[in-house]
Structure 1
Amino acid sequence: MDVEWGYEGKRGPEHWHELCDWFSEGAKYPYQSPISLSHNEQLIRNSEQAQLFFHYQKEQFTEKEFKNTMHFVPFSHESYVIFQNVRYFLTDIHFHRPSEHVIDGRPQEIEFHLVHTSQQQKNLVVAVLCTFDLTAPELDKIDLTTEWDYPNHLQTFSPALFLPKERSYFHYTGSLTTPPTAGPVQWFVFDHIQRFNPDFLKEFSEELLEVNNRPLQEKKERKIYFVSKHSSADLER
């Protein structure tokens, strides 16, 4: 189903549920995303239930424009994470501006979503919030093995380059942040704010750089977990 939606006016977030029955049904899921997160709220800390393990490797991605942002889509789904003994394969990387989640009351300038899907078609999203910094390395210079082929919209890289070195994170159950906003989606939001060189965005058209973040949603007493700092080695096994 191809239903036109956006981030303002009659097709903006407050009207998504009115655009079609599919969107209306997704909006009925009670625990919507994104939400505001805080280190000072009541959190379930370092629970085994919230452990996430990364198995990322270098692979080829194609660059596509759709759904109001730029996406990097892997060809062969070689990278994955494990959550509660279930394997979720990386299926998409995209970004929102400004950030959709807010940590300790502070939104950031951009948020990357690394979207994963299990064989049972369940969704898990890893979110990384970033602040713009012209002195930060550009994405294509972070990993010396990265290969960028801009004319053909092809990139070869390890998705680990998007992740912070200090991997402490919030975990909660929510929804998709774009229509149909269905759930449940397992969310993992890193609390370490990455420094991001905005030069990376220069290749994209202006319409992809406009505001494309969904407003914050109510928490509704849902459980929020927090896993303390781990090194990348601790979370890769």
Structure 2
Amino acid sequence: MTHFTGKAALLALSIFSASASASHWSYEGEGAPEYWGELDEAYKTCQTGMNQSPINIDSTANAHLSQLQAHYSEGPVSLTNNGHTIQAGEKNDTRDSITLDGKAWTLQQFHFHSPSENTVHGKKYAMEMHLVHKNTEGELAVVAVMFEKGAANAELNKLWAVMPGQVDQNITIKPDLNLNALLPKDKTYWRFSGSLTTPPCSEGVTWIVLQHPLTLSPAQLEKFTHTMHHDNNRPVQPLHGRVIVE
């Protein structure tokens, strides 16, 4: 697996925070995903990379993966509409993290895509949440949680109630968010090596896709898609021989 340098990780994370006005990539028109690699030399990996995300999870190998350990606390969250997604920033004075490969990976931010970017046996879910983590070596790990239409999600309501409708608008939610409630109780997962799903599409990202979806109501889904004005998912990318383990 290609390792992220600290500098590359910082660049990658800054991309997540870039506003639509500061970047010409998009999900439709001339800036659509199929053109990302041609928009900027820095985005070339979007076109030439051999370990790109998202993917279709189909054939898997059993590797007896260890249980995912999430260490999330309750706290305030800052929400931003960056024109590409709704992104939640770091909580104040907390070190939310996961334990993976015997290392602590600290939560940097989390955001949403609709419909899902990764698919399972060709199925798209209504929405997918990405929790982006970084370890002390600057490597990135993304934990992905799927949502399908069903019962309303009470914890999601805390975010949706103050969802910023304008690009570059930043809002802090008043009630403390319990991030653990946005993860399924059963944290069985698929794992593979991939990339960021937005430019610059940097590779060397460890992907942890939780197998058990949560639900959100049709109204919750509609509010997100209405705010985004369009789908914000990159199409699945070729595996190029990668193995997905579980």
Place the TM-score, normalised by the shorter chain, in its bin: 0.7 to 0.9
Taking the aligned partners of 2:190 and 2:74, their CA distance within structure 1 comes to 26
Matched-pair contact (CA < 8 Å) for 1:52–1:81 = yes
Structure 1 residue 159: deviation in Å? 1.4
AA aligned opposite 1:75:
K
Q: TM-score, normalised by structure 2?
A: 0.79
2:160/2:220 contact within 8 Å kept = no
Give the structure with the higher percent helix: 2
Corresponding position of 1:150? 162
* Alignment partner, residue 7 of structure 1: 27
1:147/1:12 CA distance change after superposition, 3 Å: closer
8 Å contact from structure 2 (residues 152, 220) kept in 1: no
- The CA RMSD over aligned residues, in Å, is 2.5
Q: 1:125 is matched by which residue type in structure 2?
A: V
Shift of 1:108: 0.8
Equivalent position of 1:92 in the other structure:
109
Superposed displacement of residue 149, structure 1: 8.0
- C-alpha distance in 2 between matches for 1:219 and 1:97: 22
Q: CA deviation at 1:74?
A: 1.5
Where 1:184 maps in the other structure, the secondary structure is strand
The structural deviation recorded for 1:193 is 1.9
Corresponding letter in the other structure for 1:115: V
Provide the rounded CA distance (Å) in 1 between the counterparts of 2:40 and 2:100.
Answer: 33
Which residue of 2 is the match for residue 43 of structure 1?
61
Paired position in structure 1 for 2:144: 127
1:115 pairs with 2:127: no
Are 2:57 and 2:121, in contact at CA under 8 Å, matched by a contact in 1? yes
1:214 paired with 2:234, answer yes
In structure 2, stretches of 5+ residues that fail to align are 1-14, 16-21, 164-169
Residue-by-residue CA offset, 1:179-199 (whole Å, 9 max, x unaligned): 111011110111112111244
Residue identity in the other structure for 2:63: R
In the alignment, the residues of structure 2 paired with residue 28 and residue 172 of structure 1 have an alpha-carbon distance, to the nearest angstrom, of 19
Moved over 4 A (4+): 146-149, 201-205
State the shift of 1:208 in Å. Answer: 1.4
Question: How many pairs does the alignment contain?
Answer: 217
Distance 2:98 2:186 in 1: 17
Distance 1:30 1:189, change over 3 A: same
Mapped contact 1:94–1:112 kept (Cα < 8 A): yes
List per-residue Cα deviations over 1:82-136 (Å, max 9, x = no partner): 1112211111111101000111221111111111112222111010111122x33
The aligned counterpart of 1:233 is none
Corresponding position of 1:55: 71
For 2:102 and 2:51, the matched residues in 1 are separated by: 23
Residue of structure 1 equivalent to 2:5: none
User: Contact between 2:36 and 2:46, CA under 8 Å: does it hold in 1?
Assistant: no
Write the distance in 2 (CA, Å) between the matches of 1:140 and 1:25.
33
Distance 1:16 1:137, change over 3 A: closer
Structure 1 residue ranges without an equivalent (≥5): 227-237
Partner amino acid, structure 1, of 2:190 = F
Amino acid of the structure 1 residue aligned with 2:125: Q
